């Protein structure tokens, strides 16, 4: 069921992003007087199609990993004399630039709309309050302590642990001082602590900002009470039920849920003696965890989840803006994530970030499914970031991508004449090789993550 949800989620996300991207090309092409022959979402044989009154075929094809807008163009076939003025290649270089740029811009616009909806509807998060600081860690040496709330990093506000992680990751490669602003309680003024770093997070695979800093987020105590038990898994086979509280394992008392999880992870395939409290009565039962591979090691797995706990009100944060204020916030967040994506690409090229962080269709499907199960807020946020990534990727100056065509047209605008067909043919081969290599690398790292 989980795999099916992942597939459905990624089809919805990619379908929407591709449709928006191609609609950008389509809409501007129509406004520039170019005849559009086909608007296709997906590649391969059309599963459905219809023609509009302008003669444009709208199609949904079998392979949902892209799409295209096919325009009338004399370079791709003969064009009737009466329609030559509607051919793409006959338009001015500035019209062609506008048509090419429109696709990625549509993705950025979609991200802004998604963030606007989130900011207007309001997002719930928890304050980034420090739980523990590892002795001798950079955080401990800088004077950070348990109970402090992280207010800003390098002057940029942080309202959640997601913000903290993004700010820390965006500083990969930093040497010198990492300024962390914190406050004690609700009433005190923030104070800046200077964390000494040298080539911050460089070459980590994957980057672990909080662990490297030496900070563990504060969390409420989570009792070892089962909230869900999956049918057919080890927990269900042992007779465990939702609401059961795990009191002890092999005679050793269990402190909390994390303590129980750690014992399960470390004992795959071994029979454990459980003491369980159910409806005020204590029961003894045996449990043999199954096993699964995670990060290169075999861990125990029983197919059970924890009963949710409520966060104290003072740790909860509601981020909400009015319709007008949300416009500025959505633009700011889109620009911020675009800059972060571009900077990550740069750092990958210079070797500060490992290429293994590339993600392909398998990882995208898994994350799409996970965020869909987490709720609409997470799903929309993921879709917005993926839309930004698609926009940035398409603007890279690689032939076969929109950015490659844009580079050719900019050169034409400067020189006054188009780039030769021979040069474009060579660029096409190079671009196909680059994109093909990136796709194979992303797929390889996807499989390694499995």
In 3D space, the residue among 118, 136, 102, 133 whose CA is nearest the CA of residue 28 turns out to be 102
Identify which of 2-6, 343-347, 369-373 has the greatest average pLDDT.
Answer: 343-347
Q: Which two tokens stand for residue 317?
A: 């944060």
The answer to whether residues 154 and 212 belong to one domain is yes
Over 80: is that where the pLDDT of 446 sits? no
Backbone phi and psi for residue 69, each to the nearest 5 degrees, phi listed first: -120, 115
76 contacts: CB under 8 Å, gap ≥ 6: none
**230 pairs with which residues across the strands?**
none
88 falls within a domain: no
Tell me, yes or no, if 313 is annotated catalytic.
no
| Max Cα distance, the chain (Å) | 89
Report the residue count for the chain: 450
Task: State the angle between helix axes of 376-395 and 402-415 in degrees (0 to 180), rounded to the nearest 10.
Answer: 40
Over 70: is that where the pLDDT of 3 sits? no
341 falls within a domain: no
Over 70: is that where the pLDDT of 270 sits? yes
The answer to whether residues 205 and 233 belong to one domain is no
**129 pairs with which residues across the strands?**
149
The answer to whether residues 236 and 271 belong to one domain is yes
Average pLDDT over residues 215-239: 91
Determine which one of 22, 231, 295, 297 is catalytic: 22
pLDDT band at 2 (very low <50, low <70, confident <90, very high): low
The answer to whether residues 255 and 274 belong to one domain is yes
Quote the pTM value.
Answer: 0.81
Q: How far apart are CA 164 and CA 161, in angstroms?
A: 5
147 contacts: CB under 8 Å, gap ≥ 6: 129, 130, 184, 185, 218
48 falls within a domain: no
Report the Cα–Cα distance between both ends of the chain, in Å, rounded: 17
Q: What's the helix, strand, coil split of the chain in %, to 5?
A: 45, 25, 30
Q: Quick one: what percent of the chain has pLDDT higher than 90?
A: 60
Q: How far apart are CA 49 and CA 43, in angstroms?
A: 13
Domain that holds residue 171: 125-220+310-319
pLDDT band at 295 (very low <50, low <70, confident <90, very high): low
The answer to whether residues 207 and 314 belong to one domain is yes
pLDDT given at position 450: 65
pLDDT tens-digit readout, 402-440: 999 999 999 999 999 999 989 988 999 999 999 889 889
The answer to whether residues 174 and 259 belong to one domain is no
Helix (H), strand (E), coil (C) string for 378-412: HHHHHHHHHHHHHHHHHHCCCCCCHHHHHHHHHHH
389 falls within a domain: no
What's the whole-number average pLDDT of the chain? 90
Average pLDDT over residues 109-133: 93
For residues 369 and 10, the answer to whether their CB atoms sit within 8 Å is yes
Q: Which of 8-12, 68-72, 333-337, 411-415 has the lowest mean pLDDT?
A: 8-12
Residue with structure tokens 């992870």? 265
Average pLDDT over residues 127-154: 93
405 falls within a domain: no
Cis amide linkage into residue 206, ω under 30° from 0: yes
The answer to whether residues 187 and 265 belong to one domain is no
pLDDT given at position 89: 92
Please report, for the domain that includes residue 143, its CATH number: 2.30.42.10
110 falls within a domain: no
Q: 3-class SS at 111?
A: helix
For residues 383 and 114, the answer to whether their CB atoms sit within 8 Å is yes
pLDDT tens-digit readout, 11-70: 888 888 999 999 999 999 999 999 999 999 988 888 899 999 988 999 998 887 788 999
78 falls within a domain: no
User: Which residue among 319, 341, 368 closes a domain?
Assistant: 319
Q: How far apart are CA 110 and CA 21, in angstroms?
A: 9
pLDDT given at position 207: 84
Q: How far apart are CA 207 and CA 166, in angstroms?
A: 11
Over 60: is that where the pLDDT of 1 sits? no
Over 80: is that where the pLDDT of 365 sits? no
32 falls within a domain: no
User: Which residue among 294, 319, 344 closes a domain?
Assistant: 319
For residues 126 and 161, the answer to whether their CB atoms sit within 8 Å is yes
The answer to whether residues 210 and 239 belong to one domain is no
Q: How far apart are CA 3 and CA 20, in angstroms?
A: 26
The answer to whether residues 130 and 200 belong to one domain is yes
Q: Which two tokens stand for residue 386?
A: 């993926």
Q: Which two tokens stand for residue 152?
A: 């800003």
In 3D space, the residue among 397, 396, 405 whose CA is nearest the CA of residue 100 turns out to be 405
On the CB side of 417, CA atoms within 13 Å amount to 2
Q: Which two tokens stand for residue 73?
A: 């163009």
Q: Residue 291: how many CB atoms within 10 A of its CB?
A: 14
The answer to whether residues 262 and 139 belong to one domain is no
Q: How far apart are CA 138 and CA 141, in angstroms?
A: 5
Average pLDDT over residues 100-120: 96
Q: How far apart are CA 197 and CA 177, in angstroms?
A: 6
DSSP H helices in 32-130: 93-121
In 3D space, the residue among 82, 83, 77, 47 whose CA is nearest the CA of residue 64 turns out to be 47
The answer to whether residues 196 and 152 belong to one domain is yes
The answer to whether residues 257 and 146 belong to one domain is no
Sign of CA dihedral 320, 123, 118, 189: positive
pLDDT given at position 176: 92
Whole-number Cα distances in Å, 7 to 1, 40, 440:
10, 20, 20
pLDDT given at position 291: 85
User: Which residue among 283, 306, 329 closes a domain?
Assistant: 306
Q: Quote the number of domains for the chain.
A: 2
């Amino acid at each position: 069921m989980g795999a099916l949800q992942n597939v459905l989620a990624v089809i919805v996300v990619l379908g929407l992003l591709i449709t928006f991207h191609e609609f950008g090309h389509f809409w501007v092409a129509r406004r520039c007087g170019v005849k559009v022959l086909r608007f296709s979402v997906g590649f391969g044989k059309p599963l459905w199609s219809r023609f509009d009154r302008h003669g444009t075929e709208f199609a949904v094809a079998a392979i949902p990993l892209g799409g295209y807008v096919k325009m009338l163009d004399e370079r791709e076939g003969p064009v009737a004399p009466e329609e030559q003025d509607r051919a793409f290649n006959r338009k001015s270089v500035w019209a062609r630039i506008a048509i090419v740029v429109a696709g990625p811009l549509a993705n950025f616009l979609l991200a802004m709309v998604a963030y606007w909806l989130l900011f207007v509807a309001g997002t719930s998060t928890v304050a980034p309050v420090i739980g523990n600081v590892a002795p001798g860690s950079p955080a401990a040496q800088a004077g950070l302590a348990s109970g402090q709330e992280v207010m800003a990093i390098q002057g940029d506000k942080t309202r959640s642990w997601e913000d903290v992680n993004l700010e820390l990751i965006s500083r990969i490669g930093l040497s010198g001082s990492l300024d962390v602003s914190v406050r004690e309680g609700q009433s005190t003024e923030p104070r800046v602590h200077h964390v000494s770093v040298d080539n911050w997070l460089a070459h980590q695979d994957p980057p672990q900002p909080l662990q490297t800093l030496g900070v563990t987020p504060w969390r409420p105590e989570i009792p070892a009470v089962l909230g869900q038990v999956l049918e057919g898994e080890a927990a269900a086979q042992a007779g465990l039920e939702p609401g059961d509280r795990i009191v002890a394992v092999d005679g050793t008392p269990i402190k909390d849920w994390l303590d129980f999880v750690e014992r399960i992870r470390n004992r795959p395939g071994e029979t454990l003696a459980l003491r369980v409290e159910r409806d005020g009565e204590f029961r003894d039962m045996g449990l043999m965890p199954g096993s699964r591979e995670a990060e290169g090691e075999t861990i125990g797995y029983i197919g059970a989840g924890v009963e949710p706990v409520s966060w104290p009100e003072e740790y909860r944060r509601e981020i909400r803006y009015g319709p007008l204020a949300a416009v500025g916030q959505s633009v700011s967040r889109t620009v911020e994530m675009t800059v972060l994506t571009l900077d990550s690409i740069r750092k990958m090229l210079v070797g500060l970030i490992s290429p293994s962080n590339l993600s392909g269709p398998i990882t995208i499907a898994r994350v799409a499914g996970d965020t869909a199960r987490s709720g609409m807020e997470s799903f929309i946020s993921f879709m917005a970031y993926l839309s930004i990534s698609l926009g940035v990727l398409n603007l890279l100056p690689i032939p076969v991508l929109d950015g490659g065509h844009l580079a050719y047209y900019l050169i034409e605008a400067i020189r006054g004449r188009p780039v030769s067909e021979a040069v474009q043919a060579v660029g096409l081969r190079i671009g196909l090789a680059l994109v093909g290599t990136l796709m194979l690398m992303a797929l390889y790292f996807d499989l390694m993550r499995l």
